Amino acid sequence: MEPGVNAKLLIDNATTLKLHTGNLVNRSRLKKKCPSSPSEELQDCIKATLGEWCATIRPTLETELPSILDCTIPENTELITPEERDELKVSVKLFLGESDCPSIRYAVDMACVSLGVSQLDSVIIAPPPLSEGESLTLVHLQPMWAELEGLVQDQKAAAIGTSDLDKTLLEQLYNWAQVKPSSNQVNLASCCVMPPDLTAFAKEFDIQLLTHNDSRELISAVGFQEAVQESCHSLQGADWRLEWVLRYSIIVKSRGIIKAKGYLVHARKDAH
């Protein structure tokens, strides 16, 4: 049996797919073209990691096929050592594909294990895309924020932040929250200049305003399914749905340089 055929058998049987792209700082040196956006980068990474994983799978005689597949290439990943931990800042942004609050803790736990740390320095949440015509409200944010607060209490996250909140919503969250947001990301595509009311509020309450260029939906359902299909011949991607994507960056504090960055991806297969 060819490696690809065996990988197809495993993926067809699995109901959960986990993937860690490994450190892209090392991989990007080898790549000729630079991705034009975070979405393109993620799609390229999923395709490359799955393709590499498919190629490494050898035929096995196991009768029991696993329902949870970890499609990570161990050689591409590197753990942070206890000696260097204090020198590094580990920040993550979690993009939720759906409103499943328990997956927030699961994603953070998976990041800690994958990177070899007990606590993340910063966790920023990007809520799941809303239906057409629907606007984000405090009611949407509260269950997710409560989950993040639990992570701070359990010392899994040192600071928690938000993404794309206007002044009104940030103020509502700030007033309601027990653990206050330490940062709020603003998309520069939607506003070239920081809104003055948001800037004033953030300054008064010591909330750091950061900029980003992520699209509302980091990768579409179709984009993810295409990446799965193109990674390995004859794979079916249509049944898979993306639950969440976590992007991490590890910065050397003293020098301000990125030591590592990468993505963790979690997907489930719809049961027919």
Q: Distance (Å, rounded) from C-alpha 9 to C-alpha 15?
A: 12
**Tens digit of pLDDT for each residue in 34-49?**
667 888 899 999 999 9
Cα separation values, 78 from 11, 25, 123, 259, Å: 25, 12, 20, 11
Residue 206: exposure state from Cβ atoms within 10 A (0-12, 13-18, ≥19): exposed
**Tens digit of pLDDT for each residue in 182-231?**
999 998 776 668 889 999 999 999 999 999 989 888 888 888 888 888 88
- Rounded to an integer, the average pLDDT of 119-148 is 93
pLDDT (0 to 100) of residue 137:
95
Q: Distance (Å, rounded) from C-alpha 232 to C-alpha 54?
A: 6
| Residue 140: both structure tokens together | 């949407």
Q: Cα torsion for 144, 148, 149, 151, to the nearest 10°?
A: 150
**Tens digit of pLDDT for each residue in 158-187?**
999 999 999 999 999 999 999 999 999 998
Count Cα neighbours of 156 within 13 Å in the Cβ-side half-sphere.
18
Residues ≥6 apart with Cβ < 8 Å to 168: none
